[in-house]
Amino acid sequence: MIRRGLTAALMVAAIVLFLAGFLVIRFDTDINIPAISGLFIIAIALPSYYILCRETGLWRGILLLTILSIIPLIIEAQAIVTGLPYGEFHYSDDLGFRLFDLVPFTVAFAYLPMLLGSFTIASHVAGTSPVRLIIGSALLLVLIDLAIDPAIVHAGLWVWPGGGEYYGIPAINFFGWLLTGLLYSGILYLGMKERLIHQRPIAIGMASSLLLIISLWTGYLLYAGLLIPFIIGGILLISLLYMTKTQPLFPEDESPPDNPKK
């Protein structure tokens, strides 16, 4: 009963965020956007962080969260300096305090829930073998980026000064997302290997933060009239809602494999 209630609450939250993205969320106001966006990004990441720690154990989960927060920040910083692997771009001040005067600290909380969500979906769709899972997760990350990047560029949260072929975004950005997605998904696989080698898909709750992110930005895409990203976002949103509705958010209580008694 409690689990069904949590599933219903998550789906209602997704609908509310979709409507907020369509009707309410705007970035041309006098509100303190950096403070609000920072708190919001962190809050929306917490459900997936919780499920990750539940899936892997607290300390391993914290270790994975730390590694997969620090490495993307380093790669983002060098990408801003060198233009690789995402092209020449920069962040706006609306995302909060910048580490090294380059990357907003909130990037760590914004990206990781998308990785956890894509990895989770891939474990259900592509299976738990490492090659299919890692490649599937990376491809899903690119699909997610095709949906949300145009919305975020439209909102002015980050900018490619030279523009690009896809709603002002250069093609190299998506190639960069594929490469880094393979790297991060590989690290996540190693951290969750003990569960995956027993052919157990990850609890769908680890994609809950991704559901909330996609809901918000798909609503914004509708407001902005960005048709192709909206269609991609809509497909992702419907798929996530269906998986959330038909599968338990939390892993069932499972006993570890029997060990021979000494």
Residue 191 DSSP symbol: H
- CA-wise closest residue to 112 among 66, 53, 164, 173: 66
Flag whether 128 is in a domain: yes
Instruction: Kindly indicate the confidence band of residue 105, based on its pLDDT and cuts at 50, 70 and 90.
Output: confident
Instruction: Kindly indicate the confidence band of residue 259, based on its pLDDT and cuts at 50, 70 and 90.
Output: very low
pLDDT of residue 256: 42
CB 120 within 8 A of CB 55: no
CA 169 to each of CA 19, 59, 147, 163: distance values in angstroms, whole numbers, following the listed order: 26, 38, 12, 6
CB 171 within 8 A of CB 13: no
Boundaries of domain holding 58: 39-246
pLDDT of residue 24: 87
Q: Provide the 3-class DSSP secondary structure of residue 169.
A: strand
Q: Taking residues 61-85, report their average pLDDT.
A: 93
> CA 48, CA 59: separation in Å to the nearest integer?
15
Flag whether 251 is in a domain: no
**For tokens 């709603």, what's the residue?**
167
> 177: which 2 tokens?
């997302």
pTM of the entire predicted model: 0.91
Flag whether 25 is in a domain: no
Instruction: Kindly indicate the confidence band of residue 262, based on its pLDDT and cuts at 50, 70 and 90.
Output: very low
> CA 222, CA 22: separation in Å to the nearest integer?
6
Flag whether 22 is in a domain: no
- CA-wise closest residue to 175 among 102, 71, 82, 84: 84
Flag whether 261 is in a domain: no
% of the chain exceeding 70 in pLDDT: 89
Detail the DSSP E strand segments found in the chain. Answer: 90-91, 98-99, 103-104, 158-159
Instruction: Kindly indicate the confidence band of residue 72, based on its pLDDT and cuts at 50, 70 and 90.
Output: very high
pLDDT of residue 242: 94
Q: What's the structural domain count of the chain?
A: 1
* 192-207 as b/e: b if 16+ CB within 10 A: beebbeeeebbbbbbb
Q: What is the pLDDT of residues 173-184, one digit of tens each?
A: 999 999 999 999
Give the phi and the psi of residue 128 in degrees, each rounded to 5.
-105, 5
Please check the confidence at residue 32 and state whether its pLDDT lies above 90: no
> CA 116, CA 137: separation in Å to the nearest integer?
9
Flag whether 17 is in a domain: no
